[in-house]
Amino acid sequence: MLRTKKLQLVSTIYRNIERIKKEIQNFNFEQSADLEVFRIKFLGSKNCIKELFMELKNVPNDEKKNVGLLLNSLKFLAEEKYNLNKLQSSEHEKNDSQFDLSLPSQKISLGAHHPLSITSNKIISIFNKIGFDTSEGPEIEDDWHNFTALNFPLNHPARDMQDTFFIQKGDKEHVLRTHTSSVQVRVMETSKPPIRTISAGRVYRNEAISARAHCFFHQIEGLYIDKNVSFADLKQTLLFFVKEMFGTDTKIRMRPSYFPFTEPSAEVDMSCTLCNQKGCNVCKHTGWLEIMGCGMVDPNVLEACGIDPKIYSGFAFGMGVERIAQLKYRVGDLRLYSENDVRFLNQFQSGR
């Protein structure tokens, strides 16, 4: 080969080396198949670097060493880029295969409604069916709504019946409401009969905490005011409630009692559904369970709330949600309801 031709060849080889070097450097591995494309082109049995190596024999001796070195470093560059990307893509595969899509998914643990919420929602929905709406009021009450309007005369010992928590708010004395009858006063003051309302909420009494008593509990009280409301209406309403709540065989009885805001007043017992009135330790072998207080709204209360007792009459009743829940779920210790022990709460996941 003529020397000038050889020199032309050398410069072509140099140009090709430069071109291939750029190609290698700019090669983008976008898909997994690109790795194989790269291998065939730069490292395969008929790769473009090899072709240049074949030309080495025609390179003049004084250039051979240099061209050889450049070709070797080109080959090295291709191998290095290939190995690096192979490693990365196998790592990707490994990561992908850490997910076994055939495995069952992780368990999603269900929350549970609190037994008192379940019970109080059930009670409210029973009364909703027969036309009662729901009303709410503040837990920090003034004396008027908790006592005076409800016919508790000032300094009357009846105020002590309820072990009140007194609190000073400004220069006025307030109380933590001892019953949700205070909400009923607010409803009577602001709306006109007919009134059919259920007031549910937390109430407070200054009692030592034990299995059978707590310093707070939950009440549901009902109020019905219209023309010609009678004691028979009260009795039928409560009978309907216990049958819906505890089953159609449940019976009730009423015993005379006293509340300042009702006249006449009664305690309501229902037949013991735990032993079918055969006698058990829950009903203390009487066959009856005390569940609520009730009575005809005292005319003094109607008058205090701006309702004419000559035209309207009404009945009221009040029960403890804990007591009803206790009978439904047979929970003996009242403290369980406020301890937030998930072992207790999780037992109510069915929501019934």
Please state the closest distance from residue 295 (CB atom) to ligand PHE, in A: 5
Dihedral (CA of 185, 296, 237, 217) sign:
positive
> Which residue, 42 or 224, is less far from ligand PHE as judged by CB?
224
Minimum CB separation of residue 259 from ligand PHE in Å reads 5
Cα 165 from Cα 136, distance rounded (Å):
20
Q: How far is the CB of 161 from ligand PHE (least distance, A)?
A: 8
- Residue 337 in contact with ligand PHE, rule: CB under 6 A: no
Residue 136 and residue 183 in contact, taking contact as beta carbons nearer than 8 Å: yes
Nearer to ligand PHE, 201 or 318 (CB): 318
Tell me if 312 contacts ligand PHE by CB under 6 A. Answer: no
**Exactly one of 187, 316, 321, 324 binds ligand PHE (CB under 6 A); which one?**
316
CB of 293 to ligand PHE, least distance (A): 3
* Cβ atoms < 10 Å from Cβ of 115: 21
The 3-state DSSP class for residue 53 equals: helix
**Contact with ligand PHE (CB under 6 A): which of 115, 193, 260, 293?**
293
Judged by CB under 6 A, the stretch of 77-85, 229-237, 279-287, 312-320 that binds ligand PHE is 312-320
Which of the ranges 28-36, 78-86, 232-240, 290-298 carries the binding residues for ligand PHE, by CB under 6 A?
290-298
The CB-nearest residue to ligand PHE is: 318
Contact stretch for ligand PHE (CB under 6 A) within 72-80, 96-104, 291-299, 339-347: 291-299
Region near ligand PHE per CB under 6 A, out of 5-13, 192-200, 272-280, 293-301? 293-301
What sign for the dihedral angle of Cα 254, 256, 257, 259?
positive
Single-letter code of the amino acid located at 21: K
End-to-end Cα, the chain, rounded Å: 100
Number of neighbouring beta carbons within 10 Å of residue 143: 17
Q: Which is nearer to ligand PHE, 193 or 293 (CB)?
A: 293
Tokens of 160: 């002590």
Answer yes or no: are the C-beta atoms of 151 and 258 closer than 8 Å.
no
Tell me how many residues contact ligand PHE (CB under 6 A): 11
Residue 267: name the closest of 246, 242, 293 by CA. Answer: 293
Cβ neighbours around 45 below 10 Å, total: 6
CA dist 99 to 58, 92, 93, 108, Å? 56, 12, 11, 18
Q: Say if residues 183 and 146 touch (Cβ distance below 8 Å).
A: no
Binding residues among 136-165 for ligand PHE as defined by CB under 6 A: none
Could you say which of 147, 317, 337, 348 contacts ligand PHE (CB under 6 A)? 317
Tokens 């030309």, residue located = 55
Quote the distance between the C-alpha of residue 283 and its chain's center.
Answer: 35
Q: Is 179 in the site for ligand PHE (CB under 6 A)?
A: yes
318 lies in the site for ligand PHE, by CB under 6 A: yes
Contact pattern for ligand PHE over residues 186 through 225, marking x by CB under 6 A: -----------------------------------x----
Asked whether position 268 contacts ligand PHE by CB under 6 A, the answer is no
CB of 317 to ligand PHE, least distance (A): 5
Of the CA atoms within 13 Å of residue 312, those in its CB half-sphere come to 22
Nearest distance from residue 287's CB to ligand PHE, in Å?
23
Judging by DSSP bridges, how do beta strands 252-259 and 216-226 pair with one another?
A: unpaired
294 in contact with ligand PHE (CB under 6 A): yes
Site residues (vs ligand PHE, CB under 6 A): 179, 181, 221, 259, 262, 293-295, 316-318
